[in-house]
Amino acid sequence: MPLSERDRVRIALKPRRTRRQWIVGGMCVLLGFVMVGTVQTNDTTGVLASARESDLLQILDDLTQRRARLEEETRVLTSARDQLLSGSAEQVIAQTRDRVRALSVLAGTVPVYGPGLRIRITDPQGVVDSSIILDCVEELRDAGAEAIDINGRRVVVNSWFADGRDRGISIDGVVVTSPYVITAIGDGDTMAAAMRIPGGVADAVNAVGANFAATSMQDVTIDSIVQPHKPRYAAATS
């Protein structure tokens, strides 16, 4: 009598403690155990642990390239941050501020004080002309004057002198008259010596019949300033 499939399954499911059943059962235990173990290994260790050598090399290559890109980015950003943090920007600002201060003194845009020389030229007869005053200014500059003021007019690099229409002297278009008080900031003794050299400013003033007096002072102040004017033609190259 041929057995139906149902019968065969029923027979197979009937527990028979034969040695072969035990062997097959043991192998099934092993199969289930290994199957679950593999699944769990895949779950816990992810792709890398079970990946093949060539795949790992590919992954490593990708990671290396990505790391190189990120390191380059890090380097750029770090140097930018260092520039911002290290105070080099502040140093530049401080240096620039110092330069602005020094140039402001030279350009005559700020009031200044310091040791210097005060010259008083009294000229009741009106014999002192602009060339004598110009000589005086040039001598003072040669002797190291850093700021010069004549009767409240700041003398700067583009100042000009002319004789007044009737009397006095025109400085930058403004007429000043005797007595001329010239204040210079610098080494007072050096400038005083420069005034006294034979045939110099003092002699020239005295020769035309005016009175020259110079006093070296420890602390003089020049309050007059000039408005800086924007250059029309010259542009800075840097």
Partner 1 sequence: MIPALGLLLGVVLGVVLQPAVPLWMQPYLPIAVVAALDAVFGAFRALLAGVFEDRVFVVSFLSNVIVAAFIVFLGDQLGVGAQLSTGVVVVLAARIFSNLAAIRRHVFKA
The residues that touch partner 1, with contacts defined as CB under 8 A, are 3, 5, 8-9, 12-17, 20-38, 40-42, 49-50, 52-55
Burial of 116 (0-12, 13-18, 19+ CB in 10 A): buried
Nearer to partner 1, 9 or 207 (CB): 9
Instruction: Give CA–CA dist 142/147, Å, rounded.
Output: 12
Nearest distance in Å: CB 14, partner 1 = 6
- Are the CB atoms for 174 and 190 separated by under 8 Å? no
Tokens at residue 29, please? 């235990």
- What's the closest the beta carbon of residue 92 comes to partner 1, in angstroms? 58
38 versus 74: smaller Cβ distance to partner 1: 38
Q: Please identify, using beta-carbon distances, which residue of 43 and 166 lies nearer to partner 1.
A: 43
φ/ψ of 150, rounded to 5, equals -120, 115
Q: Which is nearer to partner 1, 41 or 65 (CB)?
A: 41
Beta pairing class for 180-185 and 153-155: unpaired
The residues, any chain, with a CB within 8 Å of residue 166's CB and separated by 6 or more, are none
Q: Smallest distance from the beta carbon of 82 to partner 1, in angstroms?
A: 44
Tell me how far, at minimum, the Cβ of 30 lies from partner 1, in Å: 6
